[in-house]
Structure 1
Amino acid sequence: MKKLNNILYITSPDAYLSLDGETVKIQIGDDKEKRIPFHNLEGIITFGYAGASPGLMHACAQRNIALTFLSSHGRFLARVNGEQYGNVVLRKKQYRISDSEMESLAIAKNMLIGKIYNAKWVLARVVRDHAMRVDVNAIKNAASIMQECLCDLQSANDHKMLLGFEGKAAVAYFGVLDELILQQKDVFFFHGRNKRPPEDNVNALLSFGYTLLSHDCASACESVGLDAYVGFLHQDRPGRISLALDLMEELRAIMVDRFVITLINKKILTSAHFIKKENNAVLLNKEGRRIFLATWQNKKNEQITHPYLKEKIEWGMVPFVQAQLLARYLRGDLDEYAPFLWK
């Protein structure tokens, strides 16, 4: 089993990264600097524009440490990838299945089954734990629609029909997501998903969380020898990590949405941690990003029992396990891809 190592988050926009022996040297301005050992890192995510030295990028590529560049507000800019593990036979099989409507449809169905099942479970948990504080009828109605979509998915015979059922389930789920927000309702509310840019505090948190999860899913795909850019649900597009986006669909609600709701309901983040730009974009400020990232890293270290493997793993290992299961299916070791169905 892969060891869950640390991801180094660099939040200072003027930080420049370079290689210094066996350490990452972080230079902030003219005076402040810090060094982090290479040996326990599995990824580096840097926010800002100062950049990194060619020597560091080369070292990250050699050690298969994913180096991702984001803007100061979390927009993806670029990614440096190292050597892929696995063999060419696995990747050729991935490409062939991706080009086959029916074969890719079978994998995409299971991924969306995982997505809708887990989102439905999130709703069930809030009814169980907070029945006196939420609109139980509205949530149960949404869950009923999602259950219908789970059944209808089985009859889909092309991707267009499949995405139609997924869209219907998403509308039902997001239609009651605001019910899960129990604290700070005056500044944290959800009236629908918006992005590019996010226009309220909740959407800002969701977008930021999805960006981090997509990074982990891309690293997971590459770690088992899969091509993160060739998917089965999301269409190929230059620069789009389609397989990573496929993989994260079943993990969005349980890894990001629940996490965001916890940050709000426990008042870990408040309105003081956001800024509003002239174009109405709402974004986390520097302190907000720091708190989000520290709490996210702690959450990833919490242990769970994987529902398929029946083994204890960290939450942060879930994308890697799912990538392994997908690779095993493509190699013919499993009869079908087993989605992550949380209970």
Structure 2
Amino acid sequence: MRTLYIAQQGCYVGLSQECLVIKQGQVVLEEVQLPLLEQVLIFGKSQVTTQAIRACLWRDIPIAYLSRMGYCYGRVLPIERGYRQLVRYQQQLLAAERLMVARQIVQAKLRNGRVLLLRQRRKNESGLVDRAIEQLDYLAQEVLQAESIARLMGLEGAGAAAYFAAFGECIMGSEFVFMARSRRPPGNPVNAMLSFGYQVLWNHLLSLIELQGLDPYYACLHQESERHAALASDLIEEFRAPIVDSLVLYLIGRGMVSAEQDFEFRDGGCYLNDAGRRTFLRAFLLRMEERLQSADGGSRPRWDVLNQQVKAYKQFVYAPAQGYQPYLIR
């Protein structure tokens, strides 16, 4: 089963017998057999015929409409999807099972940050980066011994402090300076890009969580509340370094953003301006649309890595004894 991603703009999705046909103008981009589909995600401005929508609903295939940033405007869901017991299983997870997954999530975040620093060290030797790598390695081991969420959050905070202290050493653009992470509000251009990128990624994860029928407000690591979709905050942790942090370093290193022209200072903070957001989103979308080699020998867009992790978490909810394996880079 696969997810159909329609990320190119101006597409037209129609039905031909048992296939969805994706066209752009008169050019057929792809034909996908309905029995092989699990869901359809449409980014930006594309059209779907009534016949195609009806065929998807008949086969229990949801269709989601998202902005190009990954924000979900709404979904077309089959009626049967409203009667599942998944949320009840999710709420019945034991404290020990939630702690086990929280450990895995924090460890993955620390390990992925460590790998990113290792890659950057090959380009620029730094004693500060070396010390951060050692500290992240130590903390990743300590995480497995944590007996409470409070202890885990403390280790995660220590890891973030070490990681971001070294992150500034990896920035190659002379006009960009980064001393520490600041969020509300972002204090400088680098923090502005990090915050914006995390929000874009968080919105997309939230959409995928809801599409899978999970309760986004019931998580393992972060505290849930009526205003905080904590599960999206849990699952974003493993993707911060490999997707957003690496993209920020790429944009700066290639001279694709300007500290003077692409940012504005207001309300006590620094934010991407209209031109800066367009540049960032264009690079973000190109990266997420890149096709990666999959285990079955085919290729899938990077978007699908997120979807596979949400589905892995869903399987954990159904079978907690199997655990959850976060996304790790090498």
Task: State the TM-score, normalizing by the size of structure 1.
Answer: 0.75
In 2 relative to 1, CA 180–116 (structure 1 residues): closer, same or farther, beyond 3 Å?
same
2:196 counterpart of 1:202: no
Q: Which runs of 5+ in 1 are unaligned?
A: 9-20, 23-38, 46-61, 71-75
Q: For residues 94 and 182 of structure 1, do their structure 2 counterparts lie closer, same or farther at Cα, with a shift above 3 Å needed?
A: same
Report the 3-state secondary structure (helix = DSSP H, G, I; strand = E; otherwise coil) of the residue aligned with 2:322. coil
Q: Which amino acid aligns with 2:87?
A: R
Q: How does 1:68-87 map to 2 (within 5 A)?
A: 80=74, 83=77, 85=81
Q: Deviations over 1:109-157 (max 9, x none)?
A: 11112111111000010112x1xx341x221111111111111111111
Residue 122 (structure 1) aligned with residue 110 (structure 2): no
Q: 1:306 to 1:248 in 2, by over 3 A?
A: farther
- The structure 2 residue matched to 1:266, chosen from 240, 243, 254, is 254
Residue aligning to 2:303 = 316
Q: Secondary structure at the match of 1:297?
A: helix
Q: Distance in 2 between matches of 1:248 and 1:7?
A: 25
- Native 8 Å contact 1:274 1:282 kept in 2: no
Runs of 5+ unmatched residues, structure 2: 14-38, 46-60
Structure 1 position 173 matched with structure 2 position 173: no
| Pairwise CA RMSD | 3.3
Residues 1-343 of structure 1 aligned to structure 2 (within 5 Å): 1-6=2-7, 42-43=42-43, 64-66=63-65, 80=74, 83=77, 85=81, 88-97=84-93, 100-128=94-122, 130=123, 133-135=124-126, 137-183=127-173, 185-186=174-175, 188-305=176-293, 312-332=299-319, 335-343=322-330
Q: Which amino acid aligns with 1:313?
A: R
Q: Per the alignment, in what secondary structure is the counterpart of residue 269 of structure 1?
A: coil
Report the Cα distance in structure 2 between the residues aligned to 1:204 and 1:283, rounded to whole angstroms: 5
C-alpha distance 64-242 of structure 1, shift in aligned 2 (>3 A)? farther
Task: Measure how far apart 1:328 and its partner are.
Answer: 1.3
Tell me the secondary structure at the aligned position of residue 276 of structure 1.
Answer: strand
Identity %: 26
* 1:193–1:203 CA contact under 8 A, matched in 2: yes
Report if aligned partners of 1:102, 1:158 keep a CA contact under 8 Å in 2: no
Q: Secondary structure at the match of 1:304?
A: strand
Secondary structure (helix, strand or coil) at the match of 1:235 reads: coil
Q: Which amino acid aligns with 2:268?
A: N
Q: Go from structure 1 to structure 2 and tell me whether the alpha carbon gap of 1:317 and 1:96 turns closer, same or farther (over 3 Å shift).
A: same
